Chains A and B, each alone.
Chain A
Amino acid sequence: MERSRARTVSVVAAAETSLLGTYGHLAVFMWLLGLAMLAPAARLPLTVAFCGLIAAVVYPGALRHILRLRYLIWMFLLIAPAVFFLGERDAVFAGVAYSTEGLQMAGQMAMRFVVTLVAIQGFTSVVEVTALAGMLERFGLRGLGFSLGVALNLLPGIQQSSYHAWHALRMRGGLRRQWWRGLQLLVMTIVTNALKHAEDVALAAEMRAFCPEKSRPMPVRRGRLDWAPAVLGLASLLFLIVI
């Protein structure tokens, strides 16, 4: 008991000494998204470079992630139509006609896409899901932390039982003739299995006298410089809008 308390105290102390907490990282996330959304086309390259600088300082790992093939394919699928379908096809490259206006638009889309991706990757890599739930609890969704904890706990079990139910139904030809009824029975099986797990969790929580109204919200990590990204973000966004 003493050991676990000491561990909790050390974890909290470590969190309090870090520079950015959950609110700080949320501010960085909103800052990056705001810059990507509000930057006018002429200033976009400079803004994206600035976003890259912020990301390199706050989330150095996130920049590496965006070079994965999966993300590059996603980006290509997003921007490719603009090159061929936006504006007049007034230029030719390797025998393929394309629109220069579309190419410019595609470049802007790609830059915004990269910033959005870095912001999400960075945010999700440093902020834990329970911390986010704790923050949302403070904004009125009471009990979300508990529910999310239960959800994360139930996820693998329910996923497994859902696959089993689907395979059982498919192997018995349940979706051939009366497919609508088959679908209903599939959903009923999956929900019943899930609710059975839930019943156990609810009973265990009640046995431990857990009460959502009396429980404290999940802890939110605070950093010493949480205010900094909010202030800098607001200032840079105002600068972008006014100038």
Chain B
Amino acid sequence: MKLTTRELVMLAVFGVLWGIVEISLGTVLKSLNIPFSGVVLGGIGLSIVMIGRVFVPRRGASLFIGVIAMLLKLFSLGGVVIGPMIGIFSEALIVELVLSLGGQPRRTLFMLAGALGVLWSLVQPFVTGPLIFGVSLVETWGNMINQGSSALGLDSGAVLVIVIVLIAIRLFIGAAAGWFSWDVGHELQKRLGRPSQPLQQSS
């Protein structure tokens, strides 16, 4: 992946913005154990990545931003950083895959990338729990249902409804993040007098 100096600096800026969100807002939300904090952080972070992708429409740009944010989070003061680090990297990777494999950038592709990226916050405990903290899949499932039932005010017996609502919330917020970043990215480019660029292949 060959990037110009200007592109590298721009990717650094968007990496910093995502890093700031994770370091400041992320630490507060996770410490207070606020429900759906992963969804909120994912939505904001992915909006920043996708706006960055509008400015640097190259394969690998989203992943690059994610790696910078991840490294900033790793070396920041805060709680346990391995979960958020894996989250940042995975979300950036999902956005990268969707935007790179989907061809020319368009609003629907951004919405899909955002939706799948935010959906990762639901899947991640099933990966990191057993692998890193030794929590069984059954317990992770139980935790998810308990948290979902208390956050949504639903009976914990209505498992199917809880899971559907949890998925729907993530898909909706992710798609809204995609919509938002498409609009903001293009409006910013217009205001800053930069022409929109098509997706460029990295050599």
Contact = CB atoms under 8 A, between A and B. Distances in A.
A171 interface: no
Given A37-B134, A144-B67, A191-B13, 14 more contacts: A81-B139, A105-B135, A105-B139, A120-B82, A132-B71, A141-B64, A148-B71, A150-B9, A151-B72, A158-B20, A188-B187, A198-B13, A202-B5, A212-B3
Interface string A81-94: 11001100000000
Contact of A154 (B13, B31, B134, B184): B13
Contact of A188 (B20, B67, B188): B188
Nearest to B5: A205
Interface string B113-146: 0000000000000000001111110010011001
Given A105-B139, A197-B13, A37 B8 contact: no
A74 to B, nearest CB: 5
B178 interface: no
8 contacts: A113-B80, A132-B74, A158-B13, A158-B16, A184-B180, A184-B183, A191-B51, A194-B13
A227 interface: no
Contact of B20 (A70, A143, A162, A213): A162
A7 to B, nearest CB: 24
Contacts of B20: 155, 158-159, 162
A181 to B, nearest CB: 10
A117 interface: yes
A141 B51 CA distance: 21
B101 interface: no
Given A187-B47, A188-B187, A198-B12, A212 B79 contact: no
Contact of B9 (A124, A190, A198): A198
A85 B12 contact: no
Size category of the B interface is 35 or more
A142 B3 CA distance: 8
Interface in B122-177: 131-136, 139, 142-143, 146
Contacts of A58: none
Contact of A124 (B6, B75, B183, B187): B75
Interface in B66-89: 67-68, 71-72, 74-75, 79-82
A210 B4 CA distance: 10
